[in-house]
Chain A
């Protein structure tokens, strides 16, 4: 028990987010008399989170290297509209259309980075210019037709569809999505194996580790959570394509951030750009890469959002950039640079979207919703700063 408390205290910043998420979910579940935690609503919540989480992941890396990108909201709106035009007017095949839009996104990111990395113009200003430009571009694309409706079901499935159940059966667990359960089980096994090998390595290098009992407790607890999530999802239509894409982005980016040379370089540039440059890392190149990734993810976010609405609208993407920035900060990224995790940004996005979803369920007045979201963001950042200070 004592160890549990000291561990909690020591990692309060990391665990704080999870605790906050659990608390928010619990409160909404009670207030909505269980509707919030229902399979249908959780599936809906995760689908809503998708396009913000994807942006938050990219934004986290942008903030880690001490920059900001305000253009991503309307960029995603604009690229979503481009996808709609590509499918309805250029009649591109769905896959090719998606690919073109993703490449365009990466190019847009490079363009934002050009004045930032090349001339040292503050990213706030450079991306504000992008915000205006893409907003205009979005209006231009949708000017002739207004909302562009997308008829292709395969495209729209990205925002509304669910993975097929390979083991559909009327006799065994009817009404439950068996493939989702299986994926959940695989995730639990992978998680446990990963944790075990990680612990072994830490012991080998004499890092501090949890005592055996507490470690086992942690494994059981998190496995149960993973199990519960898959069970809840399996109870509705199973896992959606949005969730699959979101998880893939998070896993890949998390791997890049923690395990690759590129990731180390990004965090070093954020931690101390001068030291990084003198260690042979090109700060310029890293800036280009991070902004290109942000543009790429904006395109992905635009595709997810457009598919969800089955259409491109002139207002698509409005305020997405601020939602993503808020999610990244709730997820623990530091404006001073060099600190912030990918998994944190996912949790940040979940916290933020849970708030929105829950308050919508309860029919909270929209004015109050904004105020509460603002307060939660403030609280998260204050909590972050206070816990960091105490630790150092």
Chain B
């Protein structure tokens, strides 16, 4: 009988109209790193919310045993007291407060009527040492990079004497260095007796760190695998996740870019961010041909998204110098609306934050960027609007009960398809696709790649920004590597290797 720190038995959780978890059971051994994998909508995050008390115990069926004892949580506070620390996908730090204030938030140390700042800084320093982060505890969190913020978050969890750490896609927003570092930290914590449950979409990362892997699909546990004993590899995981094996993650593309037509050319492009008070782009030069997929690789913070936004109507108000010619004409777009009119589209990296209006329906989101297309004299033709949405739902196979479904109720992959549909309805010549497959599952990824291939076959060009190297290598005709606000190098899509891209990305 192995020593289980946690057992969840026959968990059933339903939302109005949806059964998110139907009979999930799984066990975590003390001191291991246990990964949960599954497609989006498989129920991973819901399961962790059940465990951390976000859903109170009378909100679901089934039982949870912690250290062999039946537990009933009524809120996150209860699970924290029981030694469970949870780190969510979205960081939960207060940016304007200092590192030590964040770490000690909610259990500040008192001294007399006030708080004991000295002791709190001391405690924070000890905790930062445990996560191997050397920052000034009095620095503001907003001044740290996202990788460091993630570590502060872990230190915060550790400050509450956790024995079980839950991490929901902790590396989704991190670059490779920060990822590796985070995984190292988890290994160190393990030697200190902390058990971790990690949700991740990155299978390589899962295989490098997990001892045990549980696969969820459609709200059910498919299997729990021992990485060494079962000789788990990526193909095997994918097979369990999707219920079928995907032979090739990147669909072959028949079409070739038309190198005689330069669609977009950017010369000596620089941008200064008055809010940050520094240059975010410095002398960028690149071009995109008709029907081409150009990959824009680079570490997070290297300036890829800034480049896209500075071209797409500059909503951040950068001071820009340089030259941009699009469809053979020199132009500078003053607002996203003029960029869209000219034939440029930009699907953002964060669908929820600035891609979709989540509280509105699929129908309203799809026509949002091109309402002229469904209206006459400013009055919307309801029929046409509905028909348009319906056509895209069918052609992109968006899974939804109807076009009046609110976008917040869709899975990540389907939200991404709505975002794509919105831009396709505009009919752009160039689609800037920022992190096209972030946070979406393997099956939906394949569909997005297929859509990209269809689009370039029809003569559209795609500028794809991605943090996932295999995706950049698998999809791009040409690759530009961005580092430190400028183009560090150009590579051919076929011959490039991960190592070559990383060398360029990290040369500064």
Contact = CB atoms under 8 A, between A and B. Distances in A.
A207 to B, nearest CB: 6
Interface in A258-282: 259-262, 264-265, 267-268, 271-272, 274-282
B360 interface: yes
A339 B383 CA distance: 23
A261 B356 contact: no
A91 interface: no
A274 B358 contact: no
Given A260-B378, A260-B380, A271-B358, A279 B372 contact: no
B276 interface: no
A275 B336 CA distance: 11
Interface stretch (B161-169, B363-371, B437-445): B363-371
B382 A201 contact: yes
A274 B354 contact: yes
Given A277-B354, A281-B368, 5 more contacts: A205-B402, A275-B354, A278-B354, A280-B335, A280-B339
Given A207-B402, A276-B368, A278-B346, A259 B360 contact: no
B422 interface: yes
A268 B403 CA distance: 17
A282 B369 CA distance: 11
Contacts of A268: 357, 360, 364, 368
A105 interface: no
Contact of B368 (A206, A264, A282): A264
B16 interface: yes
Interface residues of A, number: 28
A261 B403 contact: no
Contacts of A277: 315, 336, 354
A75 to B, nearest CB: 27
12 contacts: A201-B386, A207-B402, A264-B371, A267-B360, A272-B354, A272-B357, A274-B353, A278-B312, A280-B336, A280-B337, A282-B335, A338-B359
A260 B403 contact: no
Which among B353, B357, B404 has the highest number of chain A CB atoms within 10 Å? B357
Contact of A265 (B358, B371, B402): B371
Nearest to A10: B16
Interface string A240-267: 0000000000000000000111101101
Interface of A: 201, 205-208, 259-262, 264-265, 267-268, 271-272, 274-282, 338-339, 391-392
Contacts of A261: 371-372, 375, 378-380
A275 B315 CA distance: 11
Contact of A282 (B312, B337, B372, B375): B337
Nearest to B376: A261
B312 to A, nearest CB: 7
B82 interface: no
- Which range holds the interface residue count of chain B? 35 or more
Contacts of A260: 375, 378-380
A260 to B, nearest CB: 5
Contact of B337 (A267, A271, A281): A281
A275 B372 CA distance: 18
A279 B356 CA distance: 9
For the complex of A and B, the 9 pairs showing the least CB-CB separation, nearest first, are: A274-B354, A280-B337, A271-B357, A279-B369, A280-B340, A261-B371, A272-B357, A279-B368, A280-B336
Contacts of A262: 378
Contact of A275 (B335, B356, B382, B404): B356
Interface in B305-348: 312-313, 315, 335-337, 339-341, 346, 348
Nearest to B409: A392
A280 B369 contact: yes
B295 to A, nearest CB: 22
A278 B315 contact: yes
A278 B368 contact: no
Given A279-B336, A279-B368, A282-B337, A201 B383 contact: yes
Nearest to B339: A280
A190 to B, nearest CB: 17
Contacts of A272: 354, 356-359
Contacts of A280: 313, 335-337, 339-341, 369
A207 B355 CA distance: 26
A13 B355 CA distance: 28
A268 B375 CA distance: 16
A378 B386 CA distance: 38
B343 to A, nearest CB: 12
Contacts of A207: 402, 404
Nearest to B375: A261
A207 B382 CA distance: 14
A271 B379 CA distance: 20
B359 A264 contact: no
Contacts of B408: 392
Contacts of A205: 386, 390, 402-403
Contacts of B360: 267-268, 271, 338
Contacts of B337: 280-282
Contacts of A264: 364, 367-368, 371, 380
B377 to A, nearest CB: 9
Contacts of A259: 379-380, 382
Given A261-B378, A261-B380, A280-B340, A338 B372 contact: no
A278 B368 CA distance: 10
Contacts of B378: 260-262
Nearest to A208: B402
B392 to A, nearest CB: 14
B28 to A, nearest CB: 30
A126 B229 CA distance: 67
Contacts of A271: 357-360
A101 to B, nearest CB: 26
Which among A201, A265, A277 has the highest number of chain B CB atoms within 10 Å? A277
A47 to B, nearest CB: 32
B357 A391 contact: no
A274 B364 CA distance: 16
A68 to B, nearest CB: 19
Given A271-B357, A272-B356, A278 B403 contact: no
A282 B334 CA distance: 11
A348 B367 CA distance: 31
Contacts of B368: 264, 268, 275-276, 279, 281
Which among B336, B339, B358 has the highest number of chain A CB atoms within 10 Å? B336
Contacts of A276: 357, 368
Nearest to B385: A264
A340 to B, nearest CB: 11
B190 to A, nearest CB: 37
Nearest to A258: B380
